[in-house]
Structure 1
Amino acid sequence: MTPVQYGAACQAVVDTFNAREPAQKDHNYWNDPVIDPVRAEIKDHYIAEQNRRCCYCNREYPTNNKAVWDGEHIIAKSLAPRFMFEPRNLAASCKDCNIAKGEDEIRVDPNRKSFPDQSQHYIIVHPHFDDYDDHIRWYGDAVKPLSPKGGELVGMCKLWRFGVAKAGVEVAPPNPLVDGLIGVMMDPQADPLTKAVAIEGYKEYVRARAQKPAD
């Protein structure tokens, strides 16, 4: 993925922040109105660069409306404010993935001072340094991690949520058998065929309950 290249005005804002002493680099500066043009430039670049697909779930969100997208700090800005405007630490994510990931630590060595600029420096699939398809595979709405990094990303961003939603998990199961089906659907390590069978089984359960006369 090609990192964002700031325009002259935005670069000046970024340079001013980067010139601050470490103790003065506050991650809350991201919400300062002076950063609005920088945030817009970041979102516009990565939405286009990622073909309107979230950097974590790889789902397409067919809109350029910046309100739909989050400017994602791969290393959370609260954990390392010094990397807040580093282009290779930025991407566009859907809001659900951003919320699920939260402020989780994704560096192998959080004490490293310089920017981690290689794949092996991260415990999850990195949008700039990894090939997504080497680590994550989708079977419709069922996800299968292909590597430890893929497994970490599935768990951290709750990528199993698509399969669970497809199965209608919002209907509360009243028995252990259905609990077991949901457990398979939520297990990022489950075999894709087993997961698909569980999804179909749960669909049948939901349909049966929908057809059952009310008590």
Structure 2
Amino acid sequence: MNSWKAIKKRVKNEISKKLLAKNGPYCVYCERVLIGTGNQIDHFAHKALHSQFTFNPVNLFYSCSFCNSSARKGQKNTINNPVQFRYDLCQFKIVHPYFDNPDTEILYQDADKVFFDLPSCSNLGRDTIAFFKWDDIHMTMFRARTLKIERLNPLSPIEEQQLILSIISYK
């Protein structure tokens, strides 16, 4: 199998279930709940640029459509030095949700994770913020708006399960 498009929907749904079980109903990049964000399975190392990693389990995540949009991550290259067929040896341009700890790379001025503390972020953290353009007004407002929604409408365990069930139906 060498093409994501060739994968049957039922297989993508199973992948979806595993990703949600592993990461929960949150964007692995901005860490916001995926409700109303047009969630999608994302290939960290883009499948067109690095097809050898298309089916690598640690290359697949759920992200919101805001972070994965063409204006943000889209099809940009996330690898500085690709190592043919050795994903674990690649040097990544941005924080990798499985290999790096975002909480030690990207720091905030506030506990709500709305405003960045750029001087305290690592170089990789600052590169990630710039890569996604997270410090622009649109993303800052998105973080604040989703935080408000999360606080005013916290998910119950039943609602979390319903959200997961709705997300796992890959389109």
Q: Which of 31, 42, 50 in structure 1 is aligned with 2:5? A: 31
Output the CA distance in 2 between the equivalents of 1:40 and 1:76. Answer: 20
Residue type at the aligned position of 1:102: G
Output the CA distance in 1 between the equivalents of 2:102 and 2:144. Answer: 25
Task: Measure how far apart 1:117 and its partner are.
Answer: 0.6
Say if 1:116 and 1:62 are closer, same or farther in 2 by CA, change over 3 A: same
Output the CA distance in 2 between the equivalents of 1:114 and 1:143. Answer: 35
Which structure 1 segments of 5+ residues have no match?
1-16, 18-24, 169-215
1:70 and 1:92 in contact (8 A); partners too: yes
Return the TM-score normalized by structure 2: 0.68
SS in 2 for 1:57: coil
Which structure 2 segments of 5+ residues have no match?
146-171
User: Counterparts of 1:31-180 in structure 2 under 5 Å?
Assistant: 31-32=5-6, 34-62=7-35, 68-99=38-69, 100-110=72-82, 112-118=83-89, 121-138=91-108, 139=110, 140=112, 141-145=114-118, 146-160=121-135, 161-164=138-141
1:135 and 1:150 in contact (8 A); partners too: yes
Output the CA distance in 2 between the equivalents of 1:96 and 1:52. Answer: 15
Output the CA distance in 2 between the equivalents of 1:91 and 1:42. Answer: 10
Deviations 1:144-167 (A, max 9, x none): 351111112112222223324579
Output the CA distance in 2 between the equivalents of 1:98 and 1:115. Answer: 24
SS in 2 for 1:38: helix
RMSD of aligned residue pairs (Cα, Å): 2.6
SS in 2 for 1:72: strand
Residue type at the aligned position of 1:105: N
1:75 and 1:107 in contact (8 A); partners too: yes
- How many residue pairs end up in the alignment? 136
Normalized per residue, the structure richer in helix is: 1
Residue type at the aligned position of 1:130: D
Task: Measure how far apart 1:101 and its partner are.
Answer: 0.3
Say if 1:167 and 1:136 are closer, same or farther in 2 by CA, change over 3 A: closer
> Which stretch of structure 1 is more off in the superposition, 42-51 or 90-99?
42-51
Which structure would you say has the larger RCO, counting Cα contacts within 8 Å and 6 or more residues apart? 2
Larger radius of gyration: 1
